[in-house]
Amino acid sequence: MGRGQKKRIKTEELTDKMDKIPKHVSIIMDGNGRWAKNRGLERLAGHKAGVESVRAATEFAAENGIGYLSLFAFSEENWNRPQSEIAGLMELMIDAIMKESSTLMDNNIKFEAVGDMSRLSSNVREKIREIEKKTAENSGLVLVVFLSYSGKWDIIQAVNRVVQQVANKERSADQSVTVECFDKLLNTSGIPDPDLLIRTSGEQRISNFLLWQCAYTEFYFTDVLWPDFRKNDFRKALDTYAERERRYGKTGDQINKIN
Ligand code: FPP
């Protein structure tokens, strides 16, 4: 085998490998309460243990060339939980984000929060803005934390923006809305749709998460409870993803360029 040929094969293998790495992995972190209950602990102990899994997942994503890691940390529906759990969870998340801010900087990680920020306390909002500003120029992994978020809220917000644009005469009433323009009106604008969505704890539902954005996302469910989720579990999800054939409505032959 000539030198050029050898080099070409290597490059092809590398490209193939890179193709199998999802650009955006999203995680519904579930099972903290059950993890705590199994140990006779308060629910908040499960959330605390879950922070270690956030660290492991973030490290894994950065180490493996994943572009975006997004975490469903607090849903709109979670506001219906006991006040003490909400307060504890908010404090825990802000503490963790602030404590890890130098790690984010050292590892070139950009932090973004998406959700209905108006429902958060001004203290939490300010801390989030502070860390977003601090990491804004980082060019490595983008860590997106969904807080006070729901998919239906996101879609309704986008629809209302269209209505507002028409009312403000920034858009004519007979101008059709396209998928591309709607994408830009969502709160996730600029973030690619997830390639892979992982949900822990054995539940197999989307729970009002990224409803629009998950149109062609591959789903991976694991029985592992979120506080037990470690790099080897993330690896298993990526290995499963690598075996999937993403057809986007086309035939397998079209995808494999047989026809
Ligand atoms: C779901 O488990 C988990 C949550 C609602 C909170 C997840 C948040 C964290 C792990 C902290 C994240 C921290 C950062 C820095 C983003 P559950 O309480 O619904 O569990 P259950 O279904 O077993 O009751």
What would the pLDDT profile of 140-155 be if each residue is shown by its tens digit? 999 999 999 999 999 9
Q: How many CB atoms lie within 10 A of CB 89?
A: 20
In the predicted model, what is the mean pLDDT of residues 44-57?
97
pLDDT of residue 250: 85
Task: Report CA-CA distances (Å) from 174 to 180, 182, 241.
Answer: 17, 15, 42
Work out the widest C-alpha separation in the chain, in whole angstroms: 69
Q: Which tokens is 24 given?
A: 């955006």
Q: Please tell me the distance from the alpha carbon of residue 5 to that of residue 73, in angstroms, as a whole number.
A: 48
AA letter at 155:
I
Residues with CB under 6 A from ligand 1: 29-34, 47, 50-51, 54, 71, 73, 78, 89, 92-93, 96-97, 145, 201, 226
**Ligand 1, atom 10: nearest CA belongs to which residue?**
50
pLDDT of residue 10: 52
Q: What are 83-138's pLDDT values in tens digits?
A: 999 999 999 999 999 999 999 999 999 999 999 999 999 999 999 999 999 999 99
Catalytic, out of 64, 78, 107, 208: 78
Q: Is 229 exposed, middle or buried (0-12, 13-18, 19+ CB in 10 A)?
A: buried
What is the pLDDT of the chain when averaged over all its residues? 92
Whether residue 233 lies in the annotated active site: no
**Ligand 1, atom 3: nearest CA belongs to which residue?**
30
Binning pLDDT at 50, 70 and 90, where does residue 26 land? very high
Q: What is the pTM of this model?
A: 0.91
Residues in the chain: 259
Q: What are 218-257's pLDDT values in tens digits?
A: 999 999 999 999 999 999 999 999 999 888 888 888 888 7
Q: Identify whether the C-beta of residue 209 lies closer than 8 Å to the C-beta of residue 151.
A: yes
Q: How many CB atoms lie within 10 A of CB 258?
A: 8
Ligand 1 geometric centre to CA of 65 (Å):
25
Higher confidence at residue 257 or residue 22? Answer: 22
The domain defined by 21-150+193-247 folds into Undecaprenyl pyrophosphate synthetase (3.40.1180)
Within 8 A by CB and 6+ apart from 90, the residues are 74, 120, 121, 124
Which residues partner with 74 through β-bridges? 147
Q: Identify whether the C-beta of residue 66 lies closer than 8 Å to the C-beta of residue 18.
A: no
Q: Identify whether the C-beta of residue 113 lies closer than 8 Å to the C-beta of residue 80.
A: no
Using most ligand atoms within 8 A of CB, pick from 26, 28, 30 the residue to mutate for ligand 1: 30
Task: Report CA-CA distances (Å) from 231 to 64, 154, 221.
Answer: 11, 31, 15
Nearest to 89 by CA among 26, 40, 36: 36
Whether residue 78 lies in the annotated active site: yes
Q: Identify whether the C-beta of residue 47 lies closer than 8 Å to the C-beta of residue 54.
A: no
Domain ranges (residues) in the chain: 21-150+193-247
Tokens 């429902």: give the residue: 119
Catalytic, out of 16, 19, 30, 116: 30
Judged against a pLDDT cut of 60, whether residue 33 lies above it is answered with: yes
Q: Identify whether the C-beta of residue 217 lies closer than 8 Å to the C-beta of residue 240.
A: no
Q: Please tell me the distance from the alpha carbon of residue 213 to that of residue 232, in angstroms, as a whole number.
A: 27
pLDDT of residue 255: 81
Q: Which tokens is 10 given?
A: 């290597």
Q: Identify whether the C-beta of residue 19 lies closer than 8 Å to the C-beta of residue 212.
A: no
